[in-house]
Amino acid sequence: MDRFRTMESFVRVVRSGSFTIAANQLGLSRALVSRHVGNLEGRLGVRLLNRSTRSLNLTEEGRSYLEFCEQVFREIESSERAIVSARTEPVGTLKLVAPKSFGTLHLADAVIAFAQAQPRLRVSLILENVSFRRSHDFLERGLDLALSLTAQAHSSVIENQIASLDWAVCAAPDYLAREGRPTKPADLADHSCLVHVDVTPNDRIWKFQGPQGPLSVKVTGSFFSNSALALRKAALAGLGITLVPRYSVADDLAAGTLVTLLPRHKIAPRPLLALYPRAANIPQKVQIFVDFLKSWIATQEINYPAARIPRAAARH
C-alpha cells in the first residue's frame, strides 16, 4: 500500500478527529481510511491512536509520528513551490561557457547586466573554447548552456542564433610592406596566414563572395589558434594575414595598426549560437538569459565596438 497515502490518511484523521470526515476530505471510503491507519500501525509495530465510540486520542508514539508526517508534508510543499517559482522567476545557478575572445570583449558586460536584472540567480561564466556535440556533454560538466561560433548539428542539442558576426581579413602594415598586399583571394596561398581553428569543418579553407561569385582558397601558415585575441596579437606583430571576427580587431582597424584586405571580396557573416540540451521543457533561467542576450546584443555595435582594448596592449 502507498506509504504516502497511509500517512496522509493518518494526518487527516487526527486533524479532523473523525474517520468519516477524513474519508470525505480525501474522497475515499471510511473503511479504506481505517485500513490505511491500521496498515500504518502494523508496519510501524506501534499503536498510533486510541479509539473509542466517542473519541480518538493520540498515543505518545502517535504524537511523535504525527510531527514527523507534518514535517514531511511541509518539505514536499516547499519543494513544489520552489519548482513552480523557478518556472516563473529564475533562481539557483546559471552556468555557461563562451569563447574567450567574445567573452572577454562583450559577454562579460552582458552577464553583469543580466545578473543585475536577476538578483535571485547566481551566474557562473567560464571562458574557454569547447565543442558540445551531445546533451550529456553539458550534464557531465554541470553546464546550462554554451555560446559558440560553430554549429553542432546534433539532434540532442538546440542551436539558437543570438547574433550575426562579421569577419575580416587583415594584416599589419609592416607585414604588407615586407611581403606585399594580396589583390585577390588566390594570392593568399602565397602568404603566411594566421588560422582561426575549430570554427569551420576546414579552417584552412577561406571562402569569399566576389564580383564574379564565390571563391575559396586553401591557406598555409606557421601560427594557428582557437583564440581570436591570440591571432590579433600575432597579426599586430607582423606574423601574417588573419581571418578573425571583426569585433576582435575593430579598434585596430580604426587606428590603422591593422589593415583590411580584399575589400571587393566579402566574408559571409557567421552566427553566434546559444547551445543547450534539448528537453521537453527548457529551464526558465536558460530561456530568460537567451532572450536577454539577444536583446542586449541588438543594442550594441557588436561588429564595430567602441575601444575596449588599450592601445598600449597593441604594442606588446
- The alpha carbon of 82 is separated from its chain's Cα centroid by a whole number of angstroms, namely 21
The owner of cell 502517535 is 62
**CA-based torsion, 305, 308, 314, 315: positive or negative:** positive
How do the pLDDT tens digits run along the chain, 316 residues long? Answer: 588 889 999 999 998 889 999 999 889 999 999 999 999 999 999 999 998 877 888 999 999 999 999 899 888 887 877 766 555 566 788 999 988 888 888 888 899 999 998 888 889 999 886 666 555 678 778 888 989 887 766 777 888 999 988 999 999 999 999 999 999 999 999 999 999 887 777 888 999 988 888 899 999 988 999 888 999 999 999 999 999 999 899 999 999 999 999 999 998 888 889 998 887 778 888 999 999 999 998 888 777 755 444 433 333 3
- pLDDT for the residue numbered 212: 83
Its pTM stands at 0.62
Q: CA end-to-end span of the chain, whole Å? A: 74
What pLDDT does residue 25 have?
A: 87
Fold exhibited by the domain 167-268 = D-Maltodextrin-Binding Protein; domain 2 (3.40.190)
Residue-level pLDDT at 311: 39
> Which CATH number applies to 92-165+271-315: 3.30.70.580, 2.102.10.10, 3.40.190.10, 3.30.2140.20?
3.40.190.10
> Does the fold of domain 167-268 match that of domain 3-85?
no
Using alpha carbons, list the distances in angstroms from residue 86 to 254, 282, 289: 45, 12, 14
Sign of the dihedral defined by the CA atoms of residues 18, 23, 26, 31, in that order: positive
Give the CATH number of domain 3-85: 1.10.10.10
What is the predicted pLDDT for the residue at 105? 83
Q: How far apart are CA 70 and CA 57, in angstroms?
A: 17
What gap in Å lies between CA 8 and CA 215, rounded to an integer? 73
Return all residues near 81 (Cβ < 8 A) that are at least 6 apart. Answer: none
Pairing of strands 92-98, 145-148: parallel
Q: Could you tell me the residue ranges of all domains in the chain?
A: 3-85, 92-165+271-315, 167-268
Query: Residue written as cell 607582423?
Result: 238
pLDDT at 87: 58
Task: Look at residue 150 in the predicted model and tell me its pLDDT.
Answer: 78
pLDDT, position 38 = 92
Beta-strand pair 213-218/270-277: unpaired
